[in-house]
């Protein structure tokens, strides 16, 4: 009961079913889980449901406790969310925005807030951005600040929606290494990634969604097969084994006729 459980979760937008009776294997501390699947499969929606940002039917529990019944502040301390994009129109500088994220999970004034927020910026290698206005950052810089906001409360669960989409190669590696380290410290890390080669390299487990349902889940080497990539994504892929049970995925092109599912 130490993990995150998602059981029989269904979610509709209006009359449209988006998640359909979704039950996942328990997501455990120490693991990086990548949520994968074609566009509109329901990946972001599932993250929103876990974060209790969208109403659903079914049960989502953390260490046996129903997240839907948890007091807001406690939930804010336990769950860190890195959305696809930070909302524009902020008048804060980076450090203030990270302090604001820290305070959202605390009941009162935290004297050490500045130091805590600075330590997180330093950990992510962006301390030099502390006094920059949030609205004047580049897309990649904003993404790193968004990660800082998500982890500053030291959450037990970290939910990230396409966290590398705006990052250059060095920062992609830095961020993914950071996710591994954050998991290694005992957190449950769940990230939506489109880049399956990246997912193969960094994930302990891949959960593949398709049209709001669980298609498959397991270690990258068992989920990411050429046959699955052809059927679900409609791409021709080569999957090669490398060291320590890891695989590399190379996409060659599209299969004729597109996805078969
Ligand atoms: N607020 C909303 N209102 C109505 N429909 C929505 C809303 N948000 C998402 N949807 C629909 O839900 C479905 C799943 O969307 P979601 O963003 O979860 O997919 P995704 O797997 O994250 O896709 P992508 O890879 O393209 O980001 C889509 O068909 C989308 O149009």
- CATH for 64: 3.40.50.300
Q: 199 with 214: CB under 8 angstroms?
A: no
Pocket mutation for ligand 1, best pick of 43, 48, 162, 163 (most atoms within 8 Å of C-beta): 43
b vs e for 182-218, b when ≥16 Cβ sit within 10 Å of the residue's Cβ? bbeeebbbbbbbbbbbbbbbbbbbbbbbbbbbbbbbe
Give pLDDT tens digits along the chain (261 positions): 679 999 999 999 999 999 999 999 999 999 999 999 999 999 999 999 999 999 999 999 999 999 999 999 899 999 999 998 888 888 899 999 999 999 876 665 566 888 999 999 999 999 999 999 999 999 999 999 999 999 999 999 999 999 999 999 999 999 999 999 999 999 999 999 999 999 999 999 999 999 999 999 999 999 999 999 999 999 998 998 887 778 888 888 888 777 776
Residue in the block written with tokens 């524009």: 88
CA–CA separation, 60 and 9 (whole Å): 8
User: Where in the sequence is the domain holding 183, given as residue range(s)?
Assistant: 4-224
Q: How far is the CA of 258 from the centre of ligand 1 (A)?
A: 21
Q: Could you tell me if 136 and 255 lie in one domain?
A: no
pLDDT tens, 113-169? 889 999 999 999 999 999 999 999 999 999 999 999 999 999 999 999 999 999 999
Q: What is the pLDDT of residue 111?
A: 67
Q: Could you tell me if 15 and 131 lie in one domain?
A: yes
CB count, 10 Å around CB of 88?
A: 8
Q: Could you tell me if 40 and 133 lie in one domain?
A: yes
What is the count of structural domains for the chain? 2
- Ligand 1 closest atom vs CA 161: 22
């Amino acid at each position: 009961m130490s993990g995150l459980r998602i059981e029989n979760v269904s979610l509709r937008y209006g009359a449209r079913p988006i998640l359909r009776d979704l039950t996942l294997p328990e997501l455990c501390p120490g693991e990086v889980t990548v949520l994968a699947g074609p566009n509109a499969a329901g990946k972001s929606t599932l993250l929103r449901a876990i974060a209790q940002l969208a109403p659903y039917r079914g049960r989502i529990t953390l260490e046996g406790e129903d997240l839907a019944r948890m007091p807001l502040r406690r939930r804010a301390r336990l769950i860190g969310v890195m959305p696809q994009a930070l909302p524009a129109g902020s008048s804060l500088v980076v450090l203030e925005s990270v302090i604001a994220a820290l305070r959202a999970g605390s009941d009162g004034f935290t004297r050490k807030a500045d130091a805590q927020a600075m330590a997180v910026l330093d950990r992510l290698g962006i301390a030099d951005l502390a006094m920059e206005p949030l609205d004047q950052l580049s897309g990649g810089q904003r993404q790193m600040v968004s990660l800082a906001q998500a982890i500053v409360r030291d959450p037990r669960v970290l939910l990230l929606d396409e966290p590398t989409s705006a990052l250059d190669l060095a920062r992609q590696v830095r961020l993914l290494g950071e996710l591994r380290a954050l998991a290694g410290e005992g957190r449950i890390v769940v990230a939506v990634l489109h880049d399956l080669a990246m997912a193969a390299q960094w994930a302990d487990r891949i959960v593949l969604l398709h049209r709001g349902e669980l298609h498959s889940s397991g270690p990258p080497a068992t989920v990411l097969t050429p046959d699955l990539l052809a059927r679900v994504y409609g791409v021709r892929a080569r999957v090669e084994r490398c060291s320590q049970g890891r695989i590399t995925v190379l996409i060659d092109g599209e299969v004729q006729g597109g996805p078969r599912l």
